Amino acid sequence: MDITNAQRAKVLVHALPYIQEYTGKVVVVKYGGNAMVNEKLKDSVMRDIVLLSLIGVKVVLVHGGGPEINEMLGKIGKKSEFVDGLRVTDKETIDVVQMVLAGKVNKGLVNLIENKGGSAIGLSGVDGHMIEAKIKHEKLGYVGEIENVNVKPIIDVIDKGYIPVVSTVGCDYDGNVYNINADTAAAKIAGELGAESLISMTDIAGILKDKDDPDTLISVIKTKEIPKLIESGIISGGMIPKVECCIEAINMGVKHVFIIDGTIPHAILVEMLTNEGIGTMFIDD
C-alpha cells in the first residue's frame, strides 16, 4: 500500500519523542533466532540498526549463531550434542565455534551493516579480554561462565562512530576460548555499559499468559512479579534463563529490557519508536 508524503511526515512526528528519548543513549540488541537465518528478516534488522545509529542511538549488536555452528559441524561430520540446552563443546567444537562466530557470522553482519549505509566494526569476546570466563561445568567442555566483562573495546569503537558487532566467545588467561551464551553476554555487556535498553530478539511474541494464544501477551512485567509467573508455569522451559538474564540486566542498572518477536519485520523500530510496542518489557519494581 502506498502512503502519502503527509502520512510519512505524521509517522516521523509521532516517532520524535521516542527518538529524543534514545538519542545519545546506548541500546544493546541481542540478535539470534529466525531473524538471523531468514535473509529478509536479517535485512530488516540491519536496516533498523543503521537507522537507529543515524539518529544518534549508540547501538551495540551482540550475536550468537547456533544454526551456522550446527551447519559447519555437520560439514565436518561432527554431531551436535546438548545438555540442559547448552552445547557440549570439546576442543574440536570450540575451534569451529570460534571460526564461525568470530569469523563468518560476525564479519557477515558487519558487511551487511556497511552495505546498508552504516559503519560497523566486528569484535569478539576475546578482543581486549572483553569477556573473561571459566569452565561452567566439566561435562560441557569449553562452555564458559562469565567472570568479568571489560567494555572498553566496545566504548572505544562507539566513540569512533562505529556500531560494535560482538560475537559471544570468551577467554581466560591460560589461552583457552569458551562458548558463551549470547543472552548472558548481552545482559552483562548492557549492564556494564549502563545501557538505556536491552532488546532480546526471540522467535515468539514475548511472555504469554497462554502460550497458544498470542493475544495474551503480557506487555509489562515488574521484576517482583517474575517468581510467581515462573511458579505458575507462565514463564517456563527455555524462557526461564532468558528472563533471568533480563533480571540481571535490570539489577545492573539497565532501565528497560525487552523480549520481542524477531520474526516481525522492523520489530526493533516498532518496539522503540512507537507507543504500543510489540513485546514484553521488564522493569524494576
pLDDT digits (tens, 9 = 90+) for 17-50: 888 889 999 999 999 877 788 888 899 999 999 9
C-alpha to C-alpha distance for 178 and 94, rounded to whole angstroms: 7
Q: Residue 275 pLDDT more than 80?
A: no
Residue 127, domain member (yes or no) = yes
Most confident of the following: 11-25, 171-185, 258-272: 171-185
Q: What is the dihedral of CA 235, 236, 239, 242, to 10 degrees?
A: 80
CATH code of the domain containing 37: 3.40.1160.10
Question: Which residues, at least 6 apart from 254, have a Cβ–Cβ distance to it below 8 Å?
Answer: 28, 187, 190, 191, 194, 195, 196, 197, 198
Question: Which residues, at least 6 apart from 196, have a Cβ–Cβ distance to it below 8 Å?
Answer: 22, 25, 26, 27, 254, 255, 256
Residue 206: φ, ψ to 5°: 145, -145
Q: Residue 235 pLDDT more than 80?
A: yes
Q: Residue 138 pLDDT more than 70?
A: yes
Residue with cell 505458575: 232
Q: Of residues 1 and 183, which shows the higher confidence score?
A: 183
C-alpha to C-alpha distance for 281 and 50, rounded to whole angstroms: 23
Determine the pLDDT at residue 2.
67
Residue 170, domain member (yes or no) = yes
Mean predicted confidence (pLDDT) in 241-264: 91
Residue 3, domain member (yes or no) = no
Closest C-alpha to 44, from 250, 269, 252, 203: 269
Q: In what order do the strands lie in the sheet with 197-202?
A: 120-124, 163-167, 58-63, 26-31, 197-202, 256-261, 280-283, 220-222
Q: Residue 1 pLDDT more than 60?
A: no
Indicate the pLDDT class of residue 9, thresholds 50, 70 and 90: confident
Residue 121, domain member (yes or no) = yes
Percent of the chain whose pLDDT exceeds 70: 99
Average pLDDT value for the chain: 90
Range of the domain at 176: 25-283
pTM of the model: 0.92
Mean predicted confidence (pLDDT) in 158-174: 96
Residue with cell 510496542: 277
Residue 10, domain member (yes or no) = no
Domain count along the chain: 1
Indicate the pLDDT class of residue 245, thresholds 50, 70 and 90: very high
Residue with cell 527518538: 19
Residue 11, domain member (yes or no) = no
Amino acid identity for residue 232 in this structure: S
Q: Which residues pair with 82 in a beta bridge?
A: 87
Residue 116, domain member (yes or no) = yes
Report the SS3 class of residue 41: helix
Closest C-alpha to 185, from 230, 154, 224: 154
Q: Residue 13 pLDDT more than 90?
A: no
Determine the pLDDT at residue 148.
96
Determine the pLDDT at residue 206.
87
